[in-house]
Amino acid sequence: MKFVCTQNDLNTHLSLVSRAVPSRPSHPVLANVRVVADEETQRVGFTAFDLSLGMHTSFVAEVEMGGSLTLPAKLLNDIVSRLPGDTVTLDAAAGETLVTLQSGSGSYQVRGMGAEEFPELPVITGQEATHLPVDALLEGLHGSLFAASTDETKQILTGVHLLLQPDYLEFAATDGHRLAVVQTQGAEDETESNLETGLEVTVPARALRELERLLGVRHSLEPLSLLIDQGQVVFEWGEQRLTSRTLEGQYPAYRQLIPRQFVRQITVDRRLLLGALERIAVLADQKNSIVKFTIDSVLQQLKLSADAQDVGSGLESIPAQVSGENLEIAFNVKYLTDGLKTFTTADMQIQLNTATSPVVLTPLGGLKLTYLVMPVQIRP
């Protein structure tokens, strides 16, 4: 095997797939990345697989001799990332697993393993692919992933629930304290889709974060193909591929958690509110991460305060359009800032009832996103 490529291409694609390499592999070959050079297509492919998450990507290179083998991911990544930004030659004699990397600054040798020991990524056969617009998928992931649970004991909540309808896609994520629901467009008119009504699947947030990263470096505008089978999901676009197991179990009936009516409503400049929250968080994080909102319908303003006992306190006031009676309510400041950072509109709306009932934040215009946050009880 022998090919020549740019250091940037080699580093970018190697870094992407290396995120699927397990830190504690159950078999030595899983600590490696499979490298396949194709002389006919003049492309080089990288594959990594931890038996749950699998990633494959490929790029154009000058392939002088085709072949395949596996190389230690971390060592290769550490070397390639430090090479100067020019061309790199990767060379291995036929049947050998010792690879030589040459760049303008020097030469390195890395010993790998045979590609035949590397497990194949799962393949779903007998299913028609569902085609999804990439931009809509990215919007949905950006607006929901942050709300998924990081607590592995809450197995089903560590994923994002995808609901695929003929005319829209819905993404939902919750950790039990907050809930993000995003609706984006469905399959494009010119794209053939066999989308079944109400097709649902819960995919681990980790896999979807890697999908988001892979899509972020795409060079093609073609729709993404989605294949779902028992316990497995496959995303494919261009020469890229990501496979993941799905999460088993019944996802919570999240729509039932969102109140249908509200007695208080606040319209506020999102950037003003986010800026005030980030400043007040400096003090809130000193103690308990709690920020208190005082809603003033007379002065038409929103007051934010944090009290870190024995450290200090802070107070911010911002103008707002307030309807309904005055109220004091408290939140975990991180939950608020996380949500507001995903909004892209200038103005936003806060809808609420009481100091202990769910609060719903939505951007005005733009992405159809509903962000529900449970308040924190204020102790006297």
Taking a C-beta distance cutoff of 8 angstroms, is the pair 121, 49 a contact?
yes
**For the segment 357-369, what is each residue's pLDDT rounded down to a tens digit?**
999 999 998 789 9
Q: How many angstroms separate the CA atoms of 303 and 292, rounded?
A: 8
Taking a C-beta distance cutoff of 8 angstroms, is the pair 363, 344 a contact?
yes
* Pairing, β 232-237 against β 301-308: unpaired
Taking a C-beta distance cutoff of 8 angstroms, is the pair 248, 231 a contact?
yes
Region 57-82: mean pLDDT is 95
Q: Where are the domains of the chain?
A: 2-117, 130-255, 258-373
Q: Which fold has domain 2-117?
A: DNA Polymerase III; Chain A, domain 2 (3.10.150)
Q: How many angstroms separate the CA atoms of 103 and 276, rounded?
A: 50
pLDDT reading at 190 higher than 60? no
**Alpha-carbon dihedral sign for residues 20, 99, 119, 238:** positive
At residue 192 the predicted structure's pLDDT band, cuts being 50, 70 and 90, is: very low
User: Matching CATH topology for 2-117 and 258-373?
Assistant: yes
Q: How many angstroms separate the CA atoms of 133 and 184, rounded?
A: 10
Share of the chain above pLDDT 70, in %: 95
CATH architecture of 130-255: Roll (3.10)
Place of tokens 């919750």: 174
Predicted local distance difference test score (pLDDT) of residue 251: 95
Q: How many angstroms separate the CA atoms of 364 and 346, rounded?
A: 8
**For the segment 116-134, what is each residue's pLDDT rounded down to a tens digit?**
999 999 888 877 888 888 8
**For the segment 5-26, what is each residue's pLDDT rounded down to a tens digit?**
999 999 999 999 999 999 999 9
Q: How many angstroms separate the CA atoms of 47 and 142, rounded?
A: 25
Taking a C-beta distance cutoff of 8 angstroms, is the pair 287, 276 a contact?
no
Residue 257 CA, distance from chain mean position: 24
Which CATH superfamily includes the segment(s) 258-373? DNA Polymerase III, subunit A, domain 2 (3.10.150.10)
SS3 108: strand
Predicted local distance difference test score (pLDDT) of residue 25: 92
